Amino acid sequence: TGRDDAKRSHVVERMNQGEDVDIDLNDPAVGNAAVRIQSQFRGYKARREVEEIRQERENDPDIDLNDPEVQKAAVAIQAGFRGIKARAERNRTEQNEVSAGDDLDLNDPELSNAAVKIQANFRGYKSRQETDQMRNAVDGDFNRIELNDPDVENAAKNIQAGYREHKARTEVNQIHENQTDDIDVNDVEMQNAATLIQAGFRGHKSRQEVAKLREMKDDGVDIDLNDPDVQEAASIIQAGYRGHKERTDAASTSEVDLNDPEVENAAKIIQAGYRGHKVRKDLREGNDEEVPEGINLDDPQVQDAAVAIQAGYRGYKTRKELASQQQK
């Protein structure tokens, strides 16, 4: 209204005279004035940037106006200027126009914030432009890669293998993290399952050793029953078997199922072979005791028993060495 306009004019006149005037920041007129100030400052900044660009262009005759990047920058500047101009015109539709020659307080925090936003937008534009250039460069290098090159194929395989290994380790770690807390180690069923797994693994290892020994036997490697180590291994096996028979109420922790009929037969054959060996040894030393019938070394059961002796002895030697190392 006319009264409000007169009041505002009176306030402006007092401000021009240097008097301190309380301003109501919630007054719509004050808000509109701030918008106009910001718009004027943006216009001022835009005009200054355009002037700087014009001066650079005049001082630098090497600018190629047909360069796509130059054209893109010009389009961005024009679009920004049109946006500033449109916003300024929209704000002026509600208030009287402010003279373009009015002085602006460049120390005003609002104007400083506006300048910071303008600079941030320009830096963002430059960053996006550089990112596009780098992406285009990478795409160009990729197109120059010879996919049929053996070195490229090997590198791709190594990368894929490394990624699969990393993914597998990650999945295993996640499974362990998800399941470790849910496992009751004291659960009887869990203990039985662990025992079965251990027994299965020991059986697998034993079968591997037996297969290796059979290969050695097929290659002509004979077992020397006069070897003190072999005799000691046989004694250990016999002692272990007798101890097992005496501990009928204890759970079996042996690597071999001693209740298996085949194992019992193998033990009997081992005992018989060892007794025959002892008798022959005594005869060589002058003992006149009767010699029992010899063992057929070509018997598959005898050969399997010999293989078992060797396997048992190797396990015994390994455990003894480990025990001595631990004592050290």
DSSP calls for 119-167: HHHHHHHHHHHHHHHHHHHHHHHHHT--TT-HHHHHHHHHHHHHHHHHH
Angle, CA of 43, 44 and 50, to the nearest 5°: 85
| pTM greater than 0.75 | no
**Per-residue confidence in pLDDT tens, the chain, 328 aa:** 556 666 666 666 666 666 665 666 677 776 777 777 788 888 888 888 888 877 776 665 555 667 777 677 777 777 777 778 888 887 777 565 444 445 556 677 777 777 777 777 787 788 778 777 766 655 555 555 566 777 767 777 777 777 778 888 888 777 766 655 555 656 676 666 667 777 777 777 777 776 766 676 566 555 666 667 666 766 766 666 666 566 654 444 445 555 666 666 666 666 666 666 676 677 666 654 444 445 556 667 666 766 777 777 677 777 777 777 777 6
CA distance 253 to 236: 16
CA distance 157 to 28: 68
End-to-end, the C-alpha distance of the chain in Å comes to: 105
Q: For tokens 């291994």, what's the residue? A: 233
CA distance 160 to 267: 53
CA distance 305 to 296: 12
Q: Which two tokens stand for residue 176?
A: 């362990």
Angle between helices 109-143 and 28-59 (to 10 degrees): 50
